[in-house]
Amino acid sequence: MATHRRPKQPSRARVSVLTAAAATAVALSAQAGAAQAAPKPTKESVKAQVDKLNEQAEAAAEKYNGAKEQQQKLQRQVNNMQDEVARQQAEVSSMQGTLGQLASSQYRSGGIDPTVQLMLSSDPSRFLDQASSLDQVSAQQAQTLRQLQEKQHKLDQDKAQTQADLAELDSTTRELKARKAEVQTRLAKAQALLNTLTAQERAALQAAETAAAQRASRAAARTALTPALAGNGSTAAASGTAQAALAAAKTRIGSPYVYGATGPSTFDCSGLTQWSYARAGVSLPRTSEEQANAGTRLTLSQLQPGDLVFFFSDLHHVGIYAGNGMVLHAPKPGASVRYEAMNDGYLPFQFGVRV
């Protein structure tokens, strides 16, 4: 009789080894596929991502700066109104104290005059409505109370409206701050990607940027030595004020770009223009969008040294025209105040403004 044996089952150890080997093969295959599907970014594409994120971050920062300035302005208004309300309330309280003394005197003499009762009423409007029918009331007292009541009412309305505006602005500021943080997070990711490039690639990018800045500086020096090159069809600054603002900005060359900074050692773009014009005796608004309405608008051919120049469709970047097709500005994070050619493609010119 034949003996039937069941096939020998592989051991658990052998199954584990085979499973692990299969998993490794799948993982290696997936990694190989991913590597083929996503080649390493070039240094040019990485730089383009960083530049785009810089642009978005600066736009968000300018809006945040504007909201913060408006918030501070409203807070000052609220504080002033609260002081005024307190002053008026003190006057009302003083008058009520005087009337209280009169009421006490009348009570001791046998009763309180109906006029005094009305003036001490918890409802001032009731007194004002009925005071005119009482012969005993002082016209001056009634007029004073009416003025105080009306002023108090207006102040309460203004205070309530300002508080509502401030609450709305607080909400907007938080939203803008969150947007700024989001952009900065993406910027950090792009910078991390930039750091994956080789040292030679990073050095090449830096060398190209440095060379462009040096060319712009040499052109600026030629402009200073040759007035005929000072502007498009112009041989001098737009005005003494513009010349002084440009001269002030030149003293800040090399100062680092920092979001929200207004000097004297660090700047963002509108912080530099505001600081420079302040040195020339002109108070500019805080943001680039507001500065765009600070004077007469100009085309490219009308620019003269010292004019403000605005870039990008939403006007989130501003600098000072330096002549010979160049701008002196605080460009972006990781860079410093410097000259830059306006025709290099990075700065889409919109218009100029003469303050």
Give the sheet arrangement for strand 338-341, strand by strand: 296-298, 349-354, 308-311, 317-323, 326-329, 338-341
Helix axis angle for 43-108 and 269-279, nearest 10°, is 60
Residue 317 annotated among the catalytic residues of the structure: yes
* Cα angle 208, 214, 215; round to 5: 90
Give the distance, in angstroms, between the CA of residue 283 and the centroid of all CA atoms in the same chain: 18
The one-letter amino acid code at 90 reads A
Residue 228 · residue 235 · CB < 8 Å = yes
The strand ranges marked E within 257-316 are 296-298, 308-311
Residue 269 annotated among the catalytic residues of the structure: yes
Annotated catalytic residue within 4, 153, 316, 329 = 329
Residue 316 annotated among the catalytic residues of the structure: no
Annotated catalytic residue within 4, 153, 316, 317 = 317
* Cα angle 56, 292, 251; round to 5: 80
Q: What is the DSSP string of 51-100?
A: HHHHHHHHHHHHHHHHHHHHHHHHHHHHHHHHHHHHHHHHHHHHHHHHHH
Q: Please count the CA atoms within 13 angstroms of the CA of 80 that sit on its side-chain side.
A: 8
| Number of other residues whose CB lies within 10 A of the CB of residue 137 | 20
* Cα angle 207, 211, 213; round to 5: 120
Residue-wise over 272-290: b if at least 16 C-beta within 10 A, else e?
Answer: bbbbbbebbebebbbbbbb
Q: Please count the CA atoms within 13 angstroms of the CA of 289 that sit on its side-chain side.
A: 13
The one-letter amino acid code at 160 reads A
Annotated catalytic residue within 4, 153, 269, 316 = 269
Both ends of the chain: CA-CA distance in Å?
114
Residues annotated catalytic, as ranges: 269, 317, 329
